[in-house]
Amino acid sequence: MATVMQKIKDIEDEMARTQKNKATAGHLGLLKAKLAKLRRELLEPTSSSGGGKGEGFDVNKVGDARIGLVGFPSVGKSTLLTKLTGTFSEVAAYEFTTLTCVPGMIRYRGARIQLLDLPGIIEGAKDGKGRGRQVISTARTCNLILIVLDCLKPITHKKLIEKELEGFGIRLNKRPPAITFRKKDKGGINFTSQVNNPQLDLEAVKAVCSEYRCHNADIHLREDCDVDDLVDVIEGSRVYIPAIYVINKIDQISLAELDVLDRLPHYCPVCAYHEWNLDGLVEMIWEYLDLVRVYTKPKAKLPDFNDPVVLPRNRCTIEDFCNKIHKAILRQFKYALVYGTSVKHRPQRVGREHVLEDEDIVQIIKKI
């Protein structure tokens, strides 16, 4: 491991010394590809090295969504968990009070949202320092990450946490790069782009591909992307997770400073101790999770508005709805009757591919 970390440091130093321009794009692309491979090797060591894969805390995923509280020690994560969920997480004046993962549950708009208070991370967590691997591995399983920051601490803390998460393959508030990458048996590297003068050029693409021993591939850009995006696509193990920056302890700053923080994107100022703006934080969490509530309607009965079936926006078809209730339903599925904004008529008969909207009502009709 020490050898791998030294190689990572050497490559980072060389990248820092190298000027960024068209002439060095290929060389920088090669270095970034090597860096990504070394970090993967560090985080997932082979069995021959005697180390196990960096796994997260053993906490069962329950509820409709999972949120992780990530931050440096003593920024107020445990207080936030206690105030939002009623679950006790030890709070004290010293650092590293929380030494394991403490789960809690938020009930909001009929949904059950699991909140995880993770131990404080330190700089170098992505390289295995402290319990960094466990913390960030668990963060990878979350639907949303709350990065908790102390408003009195330097803003550089935000950048440090982002760097640790990025080093572990987590991409915050981003979507997957619009790059099509397809390996083939022969024909060399074929690079095409829908963008005029893209950041990526053929030399950089070939350099990255050669590091992965890929000499025949079709690569197509649908929008302007850089070398990091290409490395992410080839690696294929990146996760794209929305994040909210929770700025805690706002009782200790001026109104002018608070006004500046409130205008920044993805920021939510709160005071966990005094319970200031916790309602605003929960509302923002709901918005970022982008969940769809669907109510069930038994035959000849009123809909059940107390216990909705909660689905993510990108997987909310009738088929997804049936699978969430019980996988056996689809075997007997004939059609569904839907009431709500996703249909023109109420009720409307639909098939399993129909996409549902929030607060739709569904009645499943089974085969006789």
Rounded to whole angstroms, how far apart are CA atoms 254 and 126?
35
> Does this chain's domain 65-174+239-289 share its CATH topology with 292-366?
no
State the pTM of this model: 0.86
Query: Topology of domain 65-174+239-289, per CATH?
Result: Rossmann fold (3.40.50)
Q: With helix as H, strand as E and coil as C, how does 108-146 read?
A: ECCEEEEEEECCCCCCCHHHCCCCHHHHHHHHHCCCEEE
Query: Of the ranges 123-127, 240-244, 248-252, which one carries the lowest mean pLDDT score?
Result: 123-127
Domain ranges of the chain: 2-48+177-235, 65-174+239-289, 292-366
Residue 132: the pLDDT is: 62
Residue 45 CA, distance from chain mean position: 23
- Confirm if 289 and 282 have CB atoms less than 8 A apart: no
Instruction: Using CB atoms within 10 Å of the CB of residue 298, give its burial: 0 to 12 exposed, 13 to 18 middle, 19+ buried.
Output: exposed
Residue 233: the pLDDT is: 93
Which amino acid makes up residue 136? I
Residue 96: the pLDDT is: 44
Residue 20, SS3 per DSSP: coil
- Confirm if 325 and 307 have CB atoms less than 8 A apart: no
Residue 73: the pLDDT is: 86
Tell me the per-residue pLDDT of 293-346, one tens digit each, with 9 for 90 and over. Answer: 999 999 889 998 999 999 999 999 999 999 999 989 999 999 999 999 999 998
Confidence of residue 1 (pLDDT cuts 50, 70, 90): low
- The answer, yes or no, to whether residue 128 has pLDDT greater than 70, is no
Give the CATH number of domain 292-366.
Answer: 3.10.20.30
Mean pLDDT of the chain: 87
Tell me the per-residue pLDDT of 33-55, one tens digit each, with 9 for 90 and over. Answer: 888 888 877 666 543 333 344 45
More confident: 131 or 295: 295
Confidence of residue 167 (pLDDT cuts 50, 70, 90): confident
